[in-house]
Amino acid sequence: MKKKTSAYAAAGVDIDAKMNALKSAKKQIQSTLTRDAINTWGSFGGLFRAPGRDHVLVSSMDGVGTKLKVATLAGRHDTVGQDIVNHCVNDILVQGATPLFFLDYIGVSKMEPGMMAEILQGLAKACRANGCALIGGETAELPGLYPPGEYDLVGTIVGAVKKSDMITGKKIRAGDVLIGLPSSGCHTNGYTLARHALLEKAGLGINDLVPGTRKTVAESLLAVHRSYLKPVNTLMKKVSIHGMAHITGGGFPDNIRRVLPPKVTAYVDTATWEPPKLFDVIQSAAKVDDEEMYRVFNMGIGMVIIVARADAPEAIRVLKKAGEKPVGIGFVKRGSGDVSMLY
């Protein structure tokens, strides 16, 4: 018998396509389940065993933003799932938290199983890499709300940290040192300006090489937002970290300011590292001044770690041993709880 055409599908929402996409991703999702995740596939809520009383839960929520437009232009969706997981992991990491579980929201105009499979593959890959269980989410097909061919991707993470190990920034003192860890590109911020600069002002196509590099626009802009969990966890076991800042929207001034106590000022010396060529091309094409560049983009530094001056050599040694390329990018002096950029 010929299958009856669904009136809902004819109107733009295909429930069968959604369910089939989720079924095909079941193994990927279940591969992320950790020891404390309770397997309840198909239930209304995800379950996870709570940590002990000596722990504090730390949560964060974020989206991939207009980087998704680059993914759509390139026809590549296997990296954005990793982006949102890693971004959220870094956001709770700055307070010393280890991720426990993750939930995602995917809103689409029309369910495309191939695209969904790539997104979920990326989510699962990053969750496994960060030891984080993917225990739930929402997939919504909303024609008329999202433009045809486009979608939104949002994530929520919950982690935990021992009360005694929380990193709040209260320990930051004059004389402390700022150590920067390299980014892998734009991560998940500044994409509206990056697209404007490269695709409109510079007139580049998505598959054209970025001038001065060996990577295409797509490869450069879709580079995965990296996770700093493993090197920072290694460092926390060896050195007392006074504060950390994930360099996302707001760049250096706004993000470092969030962790500074009153009566100190952090100075960031931009001459201590060389930003990747991609940022130079963006800046030149869109004619952006230095101040705005360092507020919109990470400029090659994705995480800033603040330690006592006496601990800085050991911190750099530990980070190098963990495979990082740490750079001393600034210092803390007495001040007013602000950030001063030295150009």
In order, the DSSP letters of 197-225 are: IIIIIS---TTSBPTTSSSBHHHHHT---
* Parallel/antiparallel/unpaired status of strands 264-269 and 339-342: parallel
Count of CB atoms within 10 A of residue 297's CB? Answer: 29
CA dihedral 190, 241, 81, 156 (to 10 degrees): -100
> CB of 189 within 8 A of CB of 221?
no
- Roughly what angle, to the nearest 10 degrees, separates helices 80-93 and 229-236? 20
- Local structure of residue 112 (DSSP, 8 states): -
* Parallel/antiparallel/unpaired status of strands 327-334 and 301-307: unpaired
* Range 13-163: architecture per CATH: 2-Layer Sandwich (3.30)
Choosing among 3.40.50.2300, 3.90.650.10, 3.40.50.880, 3.90.79.10, the CATH entry for 177-342 is 3.90.650.10
End-to-end CA distance of the chain: 72
Annotated domain spans of the chain? 13-163, 177-342
Give the global pTM: 0.92
Per-residue pLDDT of the chain (343 residues; tens, 9 = 90+): 556 667 556 656 576 766 676 676 778 778 888 988 887 666 667 778 889 889 999 999 999 999 999 999 999 999 999 999 999 999 999 999 999 999 999 999 998 989 999 999 999 999 999 999 999 999 999 999 999 989 999 999 999 999 999 999 999 999 999 999 999 999 999 999 999 999 999 999 999 999 999 999 999 999 999 999 999 999 999 999 999 999 999 999 999 999 999 999 999 999 999 999 999 999 999 999 999 999 999 999 999 999 999 999 999 999 999 999 999 999 999 999 999 999 9
For residues 241 and 237, what is the distance between their CA atoms, to the nearest angstrom?
Answer: 10
